[in-house]
Amino acid sequence: MASSVLVENVSKVFHTREGGLLFRGKKRVVEALKNVSFEVREGEVFGLLGPNGAGKTTTIKILSTLLLPDSGDAWVNGYHVVKEANKVRESIGVSLYSDRGFYWKLSGRENLMYFARLYHLERSYAKSRIDYLLKLLDLESDADRLVEEYSTGMKSKLNIARALLQDPPVLFLDEPTIGLDPTAARKVREVIMELRGEGKTVLLTTHNMYEAELLCDRVAIISKGRVIAIGTPGELKSKVSEHKVIEVELAGFDEGLLEMVKQGRGVIGAAARIRDPVSGLAELRIVYDGDFALKDVLGMLLSSRGRLISVKSLEPTLEDVFVTMTGERLEAPS
Amino acid sequence: MRQGGKVNCPSTKFLRGFKAGLAELRGVVEVWFRNYFRYPAWIIADVVTTPAWLILFIVPILMFLPREQWQDPGVLNTMFWAMVLWDVVSSGIWSFGMAIRREQQTGTLEALFVTNASRAILFSGGLCVRTVTMFMGILYMFAFFTAIFKVELMLFNPLGVLASLVTGLVAALGFGLIYGSLVLRFKNIGPLNNVVQFILLGICGVFVPVTSLPSPLRLISYTLPFTYVADLVRHYALGAESLLPLMLEWATLLTQTAAMLILGLSMLKQVEHQMKYTGGLGSY
């Protein structure tokens, strides 16, 4: 199968300033991508799975020609993202995560028509294409309302409609369901599956493992600017399928306890998500091998200052691959 | 890796080149006018502030003139055409920067940059709104000079004046592109543009002929297109002597205008490239 997207050793560093006034902010160097390489095959839905700040959006922006890489090469639909940027832009549809990005005093339909003109679509084709997309994304009845009246979900769907305007062979969707209510998120997922049915190549970013499992043919797990694993969800999960997983709810959590658990006998990986910083309410996800490990871990938790609230035994998921490989959790605190 | 893969999208099939540019321009004009007419406060502010600005500008100038010149048709006509020129040049200078700033604030820059639309056309929308306020300003000035000063406005060669003003507008667009590039790079620099505009038009002899400026300043004036625009407007409207033989003056003006446009366009392109390295393209 041919590649639709090929990324070879791409690195990107940002030089930023933190706080301060005028020119006095502290300089900071952020290595957003470190030698990232992966390939997305034609007609595939490929997910970049990682927590916030992992480098997912930077990757999408480089592939969309909105950012230039410091080193490495990337091709989209056979075109080099730096040397043939115009051709790349003709081949892609991009939906970047943002609550803005539209003209709020224009209706959804007017916004799409404007971008259709910028994509040089013939007027009659653009009109029918816009009608089709509005229907596809359940925006038909709100198409003539001003965008300032749209909910976050409606703006997200409009964003995807804009990405599909020129019917591109390759789509980049940055966190397509973030902040959406379940109905809107389901609709967006349905559309992505429909696109796969049409043979489009979709590269999406997400920090939602369920979404990655549900939608993606293959997934790259990305953490701190590095791709740490690539494979089908099944292949990735097989890395931890031999292990056992528990999720522990605990009040009065502290980082020292997590470090202690990580050092425990038979513990493959452990990570915490703080749910309430005031009470120290946290969820610990622990991947381990052997019953002795469970006994040790529970012993540690019971003898800690924290109060054990619940313990659940779970089937390993993509998140456990992430926990095992990075010692971090995927999703932001809810 | 497949090289030069087939692009199956209508944008490659329709409206290339000039037609594509026209489609983009039409889109930009529609969006800007729709936006403008859906903000009543914006229009009201323009209707109210344009005459206020005119009064605040003309009254101090008059205060420096001997009282008997307040009735002098030559002086008043010079001032009228100077104000018209000010309005036209200012529309060109502000247009791109204003549009880019607005896109930055709306958060639409990245969505625009992911298209292949001409960057100059994308950001020419500011000129639409400025054109409305420009005509509003000219109408106010006409009413102001004819009703208050009872002056009969002179216009010996309307076509010549129109050609000079249009060329002036195009030259100002060149400056506008430079200002727009600076907005793209440094964001909020409107106050700086205000100061530059005053200095620029001051030394270009919009209100006072350049021949009356000190010689070092005059040398700078001769390198700026607005010097020739102001001179040609005075020549065609009032019948004043031109600085250079007409053909030479036009040739100089057109060369400088082309140079300004090329400089502005290349600067915009360069800044876009630079911002793609730093990652600040969509920030505001």
pLDDT (tens digit per residue) in A119-132: 999 999 999 999 99
Tokens describing residue A91: 């081949």
Q: Provide the b/e sequence for A83-110 (b: ≥16 CB within 10 Å).
A: ebbebbbbbbbbbbbbebbbbbbbbbbb
How many angstroms separate the CA atoms of A93 and A116, rounded?
12
pLDDT of residue A23: 64
Over 60: is that where the pLDDT of A82 sits? Answer: yes
List the single best residue of B8, B22, B114 to mutate versus A (max A Cβ within 10 A): B114
How many angstroms separate the CA atoms of B96 and A248, rounded?
57
Closest residue in A to B36 (Cα) is A105
Closest residue in B to A98 (Cα) is B107
The maximal CA–CA distance of chain A, rounded, in angstroms, is 71
Domain layout of chain B by residue ranges: 22-276
Over 50: is that where the pLDDT of A334 sits? Answer: no
A79 vs B4: CB contact, 8 Å cut-off?
Answer: yes
Over 60: is that where the pLDDT of A147 sits? Answer: yes
Instruction: Closest CB to A166: pick one of B9, B107, B110.
Output: B9
Pairing of strands A201-206, A307-314: unpaired
Chain B nearest C-alpha distance from A68 (Å): 5
Residue by residue, DSSP assigns A94-138 as: EE---S--S-TTSBHHHHHHHHHHHTT--HHHHHHHHHHHHHHTT
Over 70: is that where the pLDDT of A332 sits? Answer: no
C-beta neighbour count of A228 within 10 angstroms? 15
Residues above pLDDT 90, as percent of chain A: 54
pLDDT tens, A271-301? 888 888 888 899 888 988 887 888 888 888 8
User: What dihedral angle (degrees, nearest 10) is formed by the CA atoms of A153, A156, A161, A162?
Assistant: 150
Instruction: Closest CB to B15: pick one of A104, A122, A168.
Output: A122
Tokens describing residue A162: 């804009």
Instruction: Closest CB to A102: pick one of B38, B108, B114.
Output: B108
B114 vs A89: CB contact, 8 Å cut-off?
Answer: yes
Which domains are delineated in chain A?
A: 3-237 (3.40.50.300), 242-315 (3.30.70.1340)
Q: What is the mean pLDDT of residues A66-95?
A: 96
How many angstroms separate the CA atoms of B132 and B43, rounded?
10
> Is residue B7 less than 8 Å (CB to CB) from chain A?
yes
pLDDT tens, A199-251? 999 999 988 888 888 999 999 999 999 999 999 999 988 888 888 889 999 88
Instruction: Closest CB to B26: pick one of A15, A65, A117.
Output: A117
pLDDT digit of tens for each residue in chain B (284 aa)?
433 444 445 555 544 678 888 989 999 999 999 988 898 888 888 888 877 877 787 778 777 778 777 778 888 888 889 889 988 988 898 888 888 998 998 899 999 999 999 999 999 888 888 888 888 888 888 888 888 888 888 899 999 999 999 999 999 999 999 999 999 888 877 788 888 888 888 889 888 788 888 888 889 999 999 999 999 999 999 999 999 999 999 999 999 999 999 999 999 999 999 999 988 887 77
Over 50: is that where the pLDDT of A67 sits? Answer: yes
Q: What is the mean pLDDT of residues A171-189?
A: 90
List the single best residue of A8, A118, A130, A159 to mutate versus B (max B Cβ within 10 A): A118
Q: Which residue has the higher pLDDT, B65 or A71?
A: A71
Pinpoint the alpha helices (H) of chain B: 17-37, 40-63, 73-106, 109-113, 119-122, 125-143, 158-186, 190-203, 215-222, 225-238, 246-278
Chain B nearest C-alpha distance from A265 (Å): 45
Cβ-based contacts of B187 with chain A (< 8 Å): none
Q: Do B121 and B24 meet the contact criterion of CB atoms below 8 Å apart?
A: yes
B277 vs A68: CB contact, 8 Å cut-off?
Answer: yes
B8 vs A2: CB contact, 8 Å cut-off?
Answer: no
Instruction: Closest CB to A106: pick one of B20, B31, B112.
Output: B31
CA B27 to chain CA mean position, Å = 21
A78 vs B1: CB contact, 8 Å cut-off?
Answer: yes
* Torsion sign over Cα B267, B270, B272, B275: negative
pLDDT tens, A253-270? 888 888 888 888 888 888
Instruction: Name the amino acid, one letter, at B274.
Output: Q
Provide ipTM, 2 decimals. Answer: 0.86
How many angstroms separate the CA atoms of B163 and B254, rounded?
11
Of B188, B177, B189, nearest to B260 by C-alpha is B177
Give the single-character DSSP code of A146. Answer: B
> Is residue B172 less than 8 Å (CB to CB) from chain A?
no
pLDDT of residue A69: 96
A-facing residues of B in 177-236 (CB < 8 A) are: none
Q: Do A5 and A81 meet the contact criterion of CB atoms below 8 Å apart?
A: no
A167 vs B8: CB contact, 8 Å cut-off?
Answer: yes
Q: Count residue pairs from A and B with Cβ separation < 8 A.
A: 143
Cα end-to-end distance, chain B, whole Å? 37
B114 vs A94: CB contact, 8 Å cut-off?
Answer: yes
Give the single-character DSSP code of B11. Answer: G
Cβ-based contacts of A146 with chain B (< 8 Å): 38
pLDDT of residue A24: 65
A96 vs B110: CB contact, 8 Å cut-off?
Answer: yes
A167 vs B20: CB contact, 8 Å cut-off?
Answer: no
Instruction: Closest CB to A122: pick one of B4, B7, B14.
Output: B14
B116 vs A75: CB contact, 8 Å cut-off?
Answer: no
CA B195 to chain CA mean position, Å = 15
pLDDT of residue B16: 66
Q: Which residues have CB under 8 Å from B6's CB, separation 6+?
A: none
Instruction: Closest CB to B107: pick one of A65, A87, A101.
Output: A101
- Sheet containing A170-174: give its strands across: A92-95, A170-174, A201-206, A45-49, A218-223, A226-231
